[in-house]
């Protein structure tokens, strides 16, 4: 079967997946983003994304080598808004007119810090693991810095801009520094699938040596909430030969998310922050949990007593009377008075948990509100409630319905981990159908990206 046919089969297999919500995957350096451009998004604290990517590069005219790369990649978030990334071609195979070479290529270690919701800074070091004499590596250490900008354009469409500078030959080799630039655009074509296009290149003071430009189209599909697959192809040019000898690139990869939350919020706290204060309130729930088994256990003891002393008529009242009195006394004594419960229900109905645009990541105000309402509900085990997820009007109705459900599920997971019984909770979604205010401006849409509650 020809390579083009295999590629078509792979794309069709990806499209055959189920439904869900697409999320950013790993790029070729291991970091969050597309394959040639980084996004300003970072993993949630404690999350690890591991995977591998492969690419095939062939020059159309010249006798430059054909190259195959297979590289494991890793990204880890040690704290909120930080991401550490690593990738290294453990298998690099080159075919040249002089022969074939196989070995390890140069690795990349990077650090990303998100300064604002849509802005991040990136620094990276290229390490000379590959053999320069065998044309598998540069033979020197290179350092780069870049600014990253991710702009949501509505309906799930996101544009990523990268601008940076690489210092070549920091150690081991001499070379000219050059500027880096990139633009990526991702567009959802289903609940689980996104297509993306990228333009990335570099430019130096000696264009015939340093200028390159790469155009790629690809598809990223969520096989599950934690596993994604990416495939794509593109053409590029180099300063050595310009448009007279473009290069063909085919690439594919997969990544798996461990820890954190596939919905974009870490398990330790809403929005990926430090562990939240409500967790400390779990002991409040422990008291009813201890009392309840005692009440349930009482009837079996009482029921058994009359059977054992049935021949003695006088003994039966002596045993049964205390038990009958004791059970109603415990069951009838509520943990809280009716006015207290009514006040708690009103606080629950007034609570609103706000989210960032097109994310299940909480705003700072949303984090505080979720911590407060969770602490409150831990005290009132008598109250069961509905968690309702909502979205603003950008995007399709079906996409927003799924987004609202993911937001509600994120809040539910946080509350359950804090100690609230799963049996007290019900999750629903309204999508964009229940706005609090008009969606005519950004402020109104921000207020509609929310989770609200109602008592059952």
Residues paired with 455 in a beta bridge: 385
Give a yes or no: residue 1 inside a domain: no
Domain-embedded: residue 27: yes
Q: Are residues 245 and 364 in the same domain?
A: no
The CATH number assigned to the domain holding 110 equals: 2.40.128.130
Is residue 127 domain-shared with residue 25, that is, in the same domain? yes
Q: What is the pLDDT of residue 264?
A: 38
User: What letter would DSSP give residue 26?
Assistant: B
pLDDT tens, 78-99?
988 899 999 988 888 888 777 7
Domain edge (last residue) among 260, 292, 315: 260
Q: Which of 260, 289, 313 is the last residue of a domain?
A: 260
377-424 per-position pLDDT tens digit = 999 999 999 999 999 988 888 888 989 999 999 999 999 999 999 899
Tens-digit pLDDT profile for residues 10-48: 333 333 333 333 356 778 788 888 888 999 988 878 889
- Give CA–CA dist 336/376, Å, rounded: 13
The residue ranges of the chain whose pLDDT is under 70 are: 1-24, 61-64, 169-175, 191, 206-210, 238-245, 260-334
Spatial separation of the C-alpha atoms in residues 22 and 222, rounded to whole Å? 6
- The residue segments making up the domain with residue 372 are 277-305+335-455
Q: Same structural domain for residues 54 and 82?
A: yes
Domain count of the chain? 2
Residue 158 lies in a domain: yes
DSSP string, 148-191: EEEEEEETTEEEEEEEEEEEEEEESS----EEEEEEEEEEESSS
**Domain limit, last residue, from 205, 226, 260:** 260
Is the domain of 343 the same as that of 393?
Answer: yes
**Could you give the CA distance from residue 145 to residue 401 in angstroms, rounded to a whole number?**
39
Do 84 and 140 lie in one domain? The reply is yes
Residues 25 and 162 in one domain: yes
Judgement on whether residues 28 and 112 belong to the same structural domain of the protein: yes
Whether 326 is in a domain gets the answer: no
In a domain, residue 79? The reply is yes
Q: Are the C-beta atoms of residues 448 and 442 closer than 8 Å to each other?
A: no
Q: Do 281 and 198 share a structural domain? A: no
* pLDDT one-digit tens code per residue, 187-211: 988 768 899 999 998 887 765 555 7
Both 447 and 354 in one domain: the answer is: yes
Distance CA 380, CA 27 (A): 46
Q: Residues near 99 by Cβ (< 8 Å), separated by ≥ 6?
A: none
Residue 327 lies in a domain: no
Residue 158 shares a structural domain with residue 286: no
Cα–Cα distance, 327 to 436 (Å, whole number)? 46
Q: Is 29 exposed, middle or buried (0-12, 13-18, 19+ CB in 10 A)?
A: buried
- Clarify whether residues 285 and 248 are in a common domain: no
Residues 72 and 217 both lie in one domain: yes
In whole angstroms, give the CA distance from residue 301 to residue 310. 15
* CATH number of the domain that residue 384 is part of: 3.30.1330.60
Please identify which residue in the block is written with the tokens 């704290």.
79
Residue 24 is predicted with a pLDDT of 61
**What local confidence, expressed as pLDDT, does residue 144 receive?**
92
Angle between helices 283-308 and 315-332 in degrees, nearest 10: 160
């Amino acid at each position: 079967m020809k390579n083009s046919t295999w590629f078509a089969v792979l794309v069709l297999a990806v499209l055959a997946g189920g439904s869900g919500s697409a999320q950013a995957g790993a790029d070729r350096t291991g970091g969050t983003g597309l394959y040639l451009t980084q996004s300003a998004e970072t993993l949630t604290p404690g999350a690890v994304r591991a995977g591998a990517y492969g690419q095939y590069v062939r020059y159309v005219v010249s006798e430059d080598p054909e190259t195959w790369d297979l590289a494991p990649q890793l990204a880890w978030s040690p704290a909120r808004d930080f991401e550490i990334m690593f990738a290294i071609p453990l298998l690099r195979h080159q075919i040249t007119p002089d022969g074939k070479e196989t070995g390890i290529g140069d690795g990349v270690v990077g650090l990303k810090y998100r300064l604002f919701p849509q802005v991040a800074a990136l620094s990276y070091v290229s390490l000379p693991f590959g053999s320069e004499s065998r044309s598998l590596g540069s033979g020197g250490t290179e350092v780069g810095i870049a600014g990253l900008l991710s702009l949501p354009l509505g309906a799930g469409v996101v544009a990523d801009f990268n601008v940076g500078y690489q210092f070549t030959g920091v150690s081991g080799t001499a070379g000219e520094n050059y500027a880096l630039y990139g633009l990526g655009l991702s567009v959802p074509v289903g609940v689980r699938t996104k297509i993306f296009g990228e333009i990335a290149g570099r430019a130096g003071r000696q264009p015939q040596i340093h200028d390159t430009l790469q155009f790629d189209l690809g598809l990223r599909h969520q096989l599950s909430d934690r596993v994604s697959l990416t495939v794509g192809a593109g053409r590029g040019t180099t300063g050595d030969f310009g448009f007279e000898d473009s290069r063909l690139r085919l690439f594919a990869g997969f990544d798996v998310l461990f820890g954190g939350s596939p919905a974009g919020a870490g398990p330790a706290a809403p929005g990926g922050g430090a562990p939240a204060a409500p967790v400390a309130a779990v002991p409040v729930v422990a008291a009813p949990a201890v009392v309840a088994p005692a009440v349930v256990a009482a009837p079996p003891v009482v029921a058994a007593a009359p059977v054992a002393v049935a021949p003695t008529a006088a003994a039966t009242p002596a045993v049964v009377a205390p038990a009958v009195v004791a059970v109603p006394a415990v069951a009838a004594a509520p943990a809280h008075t009716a006015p207290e419960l009514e006040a708690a229900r009103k606080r629950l109905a007034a609570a609103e948990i706000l989210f960032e645009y097109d994310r299940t990541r909480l705003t700072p105000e949303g984090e505080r509100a979720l911590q407060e309402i969770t602490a409150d509900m831990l005290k009132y085990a008598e109250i069961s409630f509905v968690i309702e997820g909502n979205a603003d009007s950008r995007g399709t109705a079906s996409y927003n319905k799924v987004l609202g459900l993911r937001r509600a599920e994120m809040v539910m997971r946080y509350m359950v981990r804090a100690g609230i019984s799963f049996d007290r909770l019900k999750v629903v979604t309204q999508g964009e159908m229940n706005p609090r205010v008009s969606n005519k401006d950004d402020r109104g849409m921000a207020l509609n990206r929310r989770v609200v509650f109602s008592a059952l």
